[in-house]
Amino acid sequence: SYELTQPPSVSVSPGQTARITCSGDALAKQYAYWYQQKPGQAPVLVIYKDTETPSGIPERFSGSSSGTTVTLTISGVQAEDEADYYCQSADNSGTFWVFGGGTKLTVL
């Protein structure tokens, strides 16, 4: 079955830049989506189609793609950005979807 690989944790100090990667064979063909989830809450979409930012999401959130790896970048991290972040995409056929294992972002 298809898998997306994320680092389990990333830690940064306030004001620094956080980068969270997501790797998967089909990412060269399929779009990736990034979700932020805070404890006890439903996920919130922060990046769609690799690089697009939904309205209402702060400009410090951005996405990029290179081959089979996509990256979520949070510039000027704030304390409120501490959360779990998940990438999501589909397999090569576009039939089956998968989430990465999630990355816990800690703001020191």
DSSP per residue over 25-43, as a string? GGGGTS--EEEEE-TTS--
Rounded least distance, CB 18 to other proteins, Å: 18
Rounded least distance, CB 53 to other proteins, Å: 7
Rounded least distance, CB 71 to other proteins, Å: 18
Nearest to 22 by CA among 71, 65, 62, 67: 71
Q: Which residues bind other proteins (CB under 8 A)?
A: 1, 33, 35, 37, 42-45, 48-49, 52-55, 84, 86, 88, 95-102
